[in-house]
């Protein structure tokens, strides 16, 4: 690996990310999958680092998941997105930040499509007016929330309580980074670092002391693949793609995986259980899996938030080996206590995958 070669590519794909005043749109599914990730994004960006981040309860799905699952036409998705733009315009914002990678891809694809076909934009404006009497300005800038954390990675590092290094040996934690397909594969110049060697997540990992692993199937899809999972008959393809990635990363003995997409961490996490049940194989140390974290969860850990407040107990793969390695304290008895000490019940344990 020639690190300077990657730096050269990264310098070709830098985004000028505006540093403040954001209209934040959440994801449909991330709040169920990783219930504290978006909350902690707001906590870190707005409360801790003092940025202006605005949200509205009137925001809905962007339609991206339905569009990518072939259940709504693109014009419908466009009209839904036009409504989000109207909410942003009404709130007085010009920069939009999305929590979801598919939303980011959806918004970007729609703006690019309108740039090529202005008559389509005019038609969508008409649809929106007929549907809900709203008008909008297009955002001046669209970022993914991971772009914002990437931009703030230095400030987070300055405030960090933990570094991504082994407490015992001082060696960096070995991290696999996985980028959602819709982040930069459609429009490489819209992603920090481009599509082949994105640095949006690797930049965070390196700033916080970890070591990024580049393994042969790094660019491969997580396995979700929308219809590959959503259609049950195709579900074998989904888990097979994930399996391929784990087989490829296994020799590098990663300590964790960081992701920036709603689907990727879910499938990279849950399929480890299915693969273990079907093949008897696990990919972490001593029968454990490889913990899969969102970038907000990792930023939260680095800043010293409690792992259970970050929602790590709802992951299939237990985060404990990673926490122990870095030396992050946690109270095992609080693991299954939710908000306000509510007992969220201990799940049944898998037969093969060791989950602490």
Partner 1 sequence: MTNRQPVIAVIGAGIAGLEAAHQLAALGYKPVLIEKAPVVGGHVAEWNRLFPDMTPAAEVLEPLRARAEGIKTLLNTEISAINRLKDEYNIVLGDGTTLLCQAVLFATGFHLFDASRKEEYGYGIYNRVITNRDLEQWFNTRQDSRIDHPKAVGFVHCVGSRDLKAGNAQCSKVCCITAIKQAIEIKEEFPDAEVYCFYMDLRLFGKKYEDFYIRAQRDYGIHFIRGRVSEVGEAIDGRVVVKAEDTLSGRPVKVTLDLLVLMAGIVCNPDARHYAQQIGVARDEDGFLESRNNLDAITESSRPGVFFAGACTGAKTVPETLAEARSAALAIHLYLSKRA
Partner 2 sequence: MDFGFQLSPSSAVNLDTVDRRRYDALVQLEPDALTCIGCGSCSATCTASPWSGMSVRKVLLGLQRGRDGEVDRMLSACMLCGKCSMVCPRGINTRQLILTLCRLDKNGEVVR
**Residues at the site binding partner 2, with contacts judged by CB under 8 A:** 232-233, 235-237, 239-240, 243-244, 274-275, 277-279, 351
Query: Which of partner 1, partner 2, none does residue 9 bind (CB under 5 to 8 Å by kind)?
Result: partner 1
* Tokens, residue 336: 């299954």
Q: Which residues bind partner 1 (CB under 8 A)?
A: 1-2, 5-6, 8-9, 194-197, 214-219, 248, 251-252
* DSSP alpha helix (H) spans, the chain: 3-12, 30-33, 37-42, 64-68, 74-91, 101-116, 118-132, 145-151, 153-158, 181-184, 200-207, 227-230, 235-249, 263-279, 295-303, 320-326
Query: Which of partner 2, partner 1, none does residue 309 bind (CB under 5 to 8 Å by kind)?
Result: none
Instruction: Evaluate whether 150 touches 200 at the Cβ level (below 8 Å).
Output: yes
Q: Which is nearer to partner 1, 90 or 250 (CB)?
A: 250
Q: Which is nearer to partner 2, 153 or 243 (CB)?
A: 243
Instruction: Provide, rounded to whole angstroms, the least separation between the CB of residue 216 and partner 1.
Output: 3
Query: Which of partner 1, partner 2, none does residue 28 bind (CB under 5 to 8 Å by kind)?
Result: none
Query: Which of partner 2, partner 1, none does residue 237 bind (CB under 5 to 8 Å by kind)?
Result: partner 2
Note the Cα 352 to chain centre separation in Å: 27
Instruction: Provide, rounded to whole angstroms, the least separation between the CB of residue 265 and partner 2.
Output: 20
Query: Which of partner 2, partner 1, none does residue 187 bind (CB under 5 to 8 Å by kind)?
Result: none
Instruction: Provide, rounded to whole angstroms, the least separation between the CB of residue 235 and partner 2.
Output: 4
Q: Which is nearer to partner 2, 332 or 348 (CB)?
A: 348
Instruction: Provide, rounded to whole angstroms, the least separation between the CB of residue 232 and partner 2.
Output: 6
Q: Which is nearer to partner 1, 11 or 32 (CB)?
A: 11
3-state secondary structure (DSSP) of residue 95: strand
Report strand pairing: 95-98 vs 256-259: unpaired
Q: Which is nearer to partner 2, 112 or 277 (CB)?
A: 277
Query: Which of partner 1, partner 2, none does residue 194 bind (CB under 5 to 8 Å by kind)?
Result: partner 1
* Tokens, residue 179: 């980028």
Query: Which of partner 2, partner 1, none does residue 134 bind (CB under 5 to 8 Å by kind)?
Result: none
Query: Which of partner 1, partner 2, none does residue 112 bind (CB under 5 to 8 Å by kind)?
Result: none
Note the Cα 54 to chain centre separation in Å: 20
**Which residues, in sequence order, are CB contacts of 118 under 8 Å at separation 6+?**
none
Instruction: Evaluate whether 275 touches 250 at the Cβ level (below 8 Å).
Output: no
Q: Which is nearer to partner 1, 34 or 197 (CB)?
A: 197
Q: Which is nearer to partner 2, 233 or 339 (CB)?
A: 233
Torsion angle, alpha carbons of 69, 73, 76, 77, to 10: 40
Other Cβ atoms within 10 Å of 197 Cβ, number:
18
| CA–CA gap between residue 62 and residue 78 (Å, rounded) | 8
Q: Which is nearer to partner 1, 188 or 350 (CB)?
A: 188
Please choose, from the candidates 98, 35, 71, the residue with its C-alpha nearest in 3D space to the C-alpha of residue 265.
35
Instruction: Provide, rounded to whole angstroms, the least separation between the CB of residue 196 and partner 1.
Output: 4
Other Cβ atoms within 10 Å of 242 Cβ, number:
26
């Amino acid at each position: 690996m020639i690190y300077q070669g990657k730096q050269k590519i990264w310098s070709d794909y830098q985004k000028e990310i505006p540093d403040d005043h954001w209209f934040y749109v959440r994801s449909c599914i991330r709040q169920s999958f990783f219930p504290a990730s978006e909350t902690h994004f707001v906590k870190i960006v707005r409360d801790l680092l003092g940025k202006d981040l605005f949200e509205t309860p009137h925001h809905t799905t962007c339609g991206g998941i339905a569009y990518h699952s072939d259940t709504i036409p693109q014009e419908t998705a466009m009209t839904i997105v036009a409504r989000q733009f109207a909410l942003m315009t009404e709130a007085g914002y010009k920069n939009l930040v999305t929590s979801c990678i598919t939303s980011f891809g959806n918004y970007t694809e729609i703006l690019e499509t309108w740039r090529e076909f202005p008559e389509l934009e005019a038609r969508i404006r008409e649809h929106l007016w007929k549907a809900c009497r709203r008008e909008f300005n297009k955002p001046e800038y669209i970022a993914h929330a991971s772009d914002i954390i990437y931009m703030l990675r230095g400030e987070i590092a300055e405030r960090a309580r933990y570094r991504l290094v082994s407490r015992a040996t001082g060696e960096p934690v070995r991290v696999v980074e996985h980028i959602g397909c819709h982040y930069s594969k459609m429009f490489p110049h819209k992603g920090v670092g481009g599509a082949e060697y994105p640095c949006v997540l690797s930049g965070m990992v390196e700033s916080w002391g970890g070591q990024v692993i580049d393994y042969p199937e790094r660019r491969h899809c997580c396995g979700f693949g929308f219809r590959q999972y959503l259609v049950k008959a195709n579900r074998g393809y989904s888990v097979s793609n994930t399996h391929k990635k784990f087989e490829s990363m296994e020799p590098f003995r990663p300590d964790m995986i960081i992701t920036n997409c709603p689907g990727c961490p879910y499938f990279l996490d849950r399929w480890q259980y299915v693969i273990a049940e079907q093949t008897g194989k696990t990919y972490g140390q001593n029968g454990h899996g490889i913990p899969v974290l969102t970038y907000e969860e990792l930023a939260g850990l680095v800043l010293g938030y409690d792992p259970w407040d970050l929602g790590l107990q709802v992951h299939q793969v237990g985060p404990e080996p990673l926490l122990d390695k870095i030396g992050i304290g946690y109270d095992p008895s609080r693991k299954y206590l939710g908000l306000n000490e509510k007992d969220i019940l201990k799940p049944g344990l898998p037969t093969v995958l060791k989950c602490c």
